[in-house]
Structure 1
Amino acid sequence: MNSSPLTSFVATSSEDQQPALKIAPSILAGDFANFKHELDRLNQTTCSYIHLDVMDGHFVDNLTFGAPMVKALRPHTDKVFDVHLMMKEPEKYLDEFIAAGSDIISIHREIKGDVIAILQSIRKAGKRASLAINPNTAIDDIEKYFPYVDQILLMSVHPGFSNQNFIPAVLTKGEEVAAKIRTYCRSYDRSRLADAVQAKCIDLEIDGGVNAENIIPILKSGFNVIVAGGYVFKADDLSVPISRLEQAAASLAGLNV
């Protein structure tokens, strides 16, 4: 079977293929004073996920919102809540974000706590566990986390602030991680992961500086979950930039959207 990253963009039942493309608009790039309105706008689009950036003012300098915001927004959409915890000690607040209605929870590789134990706690709660990795963090030992995650999130900007320039080096890192994921997902024994939230395999997500100019090399590198903030929310009609991202993926896969 062709193991090209492009198979990521086609939804099939094959165990050897990664999940299909998911677009995850980052609501933090919208109107901070009216997230409910922004959520209503996103509900009119074909995006799969809503990306929520939680910053604690310690792991990163900026401060955004906490679990109460996630809880307040949860009743107003059926879309997947992809919650990115840029927090120094996420384990202290994990139960709150789980109860608030998070579907996917990302914690950072760079924290001082027991990363694997926290990922296990996320899965035991019936949520999807995701490991976020900063641009300057090595990926030499990334495979050791694969049994505990449903998603790997590679940052393509330095975390903490919006409207940064895309870091091209993440494309090479993405290719390396995507290859490792494909190898792992063809070989591991799913029967040993009875406590896991089962996905077709492990999603590879990118976050930071994504736009129409760099989406093609991003997709070619193997990413299948695309976080887009400013590129989406600067449009009057949010469906337009989202459709452009979807069309780019479809063109690579030889499909029509």
Structure 2
Amino acid sequence: MNTIVSASILSADICRLGEELDRIKQSGCDHVHFDVMDGVFVPNISFGVPVLAGVRKHTDMFIDAHLMITDPLKYVGVFADNGADMISFHLESNSDPAAVIREIKTRGIKAGIAIKPGTPVSDVLPFVSSVDMVLVMTVEPGFGGQGFMHETLSKISELKAYIDKECPGTHIQVDGGINAETAALVREAGADILVAGSYLFKAEDMAAAARSMR
């Protein structure tokens, strides 16, 4: 699969969010990554539905909403209704994974399931055939700017081997500490959707940074 570059607006200048969204598109990025944190499932609090609605109004780019929240099933509908093209949620949340996947699919959008660095790949395998994407966190979820955890590479490879055998076409996304160097490592391991925040937004040339991730 071709590498998809997803820009996490967690690292954007929120006071200039419209301009930042334009910069993402002009730089050749493929997706907008929209991190949702509730201060419970993870210690930080980020964006909610009104911000998503504003982002949707401003851009026609593909929006991937990553729900790092305790009860994603409760919120699938409102995020779908306000512009998410894909919703990914955490296997470790309190909601029943199969129910969340069904609800996302009912809304007519793509579904993703995410696992933290410490969660074994075997835990997510029963759900892989039901989703469009599996997100392997390469840092602990909750804050931007963390360093890449190299021990997650074996998890990506394990997941890729399973997908190739059982459900070809399912995407593997990685999120956390991605730059030109780590992008090469995760691509080699099998990932094809690469999320980056700090690396893209702090670059002097975002387009060059995006190209380096491919």
TM-score exceeds 0.5: yes
| Structure 1 segments (4+ residues) deviating >2 Å | none
Partner secondary structure for residue 167 of structure 2: helix
Query: Equivalent residue for 1:52?
Result: 34
Which residue number in structure 1 is paired with residue 45 of structure 2?
A: 63
Matches of 2:81 and 2:94, distance apart in 1? 24
RMSD: 1.1
Match of 2:101 in 1: 119
Work out which of the residue numbers 214, 229, 243 in structure 1 matches 2:182. Answer: 214
Tell me if 1:227 matches 2:187: no
The one-letter code matched in structure 2 to 1:210 is: I
3-state SS of the aligned residue for 1:240?
Answer: helix
Identity %: 38
* In 2, Cα distance between equivalents of 1:216 and 1:146: 24
Once the two structures are TM-superposed, the CA of residue 90 in structure 1 deviates from its matched residue by: 1.3
Aligned counterpart, 1:203: 171
Q: Where in structure 1 are there 5+ consecutive unaligned residues?
A: 1-7, 9-19, 187-200, 247-257
Equivalent residue for 1:166, pick from 134, 137, 148: 148
CA-CA distance at 1:68 after TM superposition? 1.1
Report how many aligned residue pairs link the two structures: 214
Give the aligned partner of residue 71 of structure 2: 89
CA deviations on 1:114-148 (whole Å, 9 max, x unpaired) are 11111111011111000010000111143210232
The structure, 1 or 2, with the larger RCO (C-alpha pairs under 8 Å, 6+ apart) is 1
In structure 1, the residue matched to 2:111 is 129
Confirm or deny that 1:72 pairs with 2:40: no
1:236 counterpart = 2:178: no
Matched to 1:206, the amino acid is: V
Of 43, 48, 51, 2:25 maps to: 43
- Deviation for aligned residue 1:87: 0.3
Residue segments in structure 2 that go unaligned for 5+ positions in a row: none
1:198 alignment counterpart? none
The higher radius of gyration belongs to 1
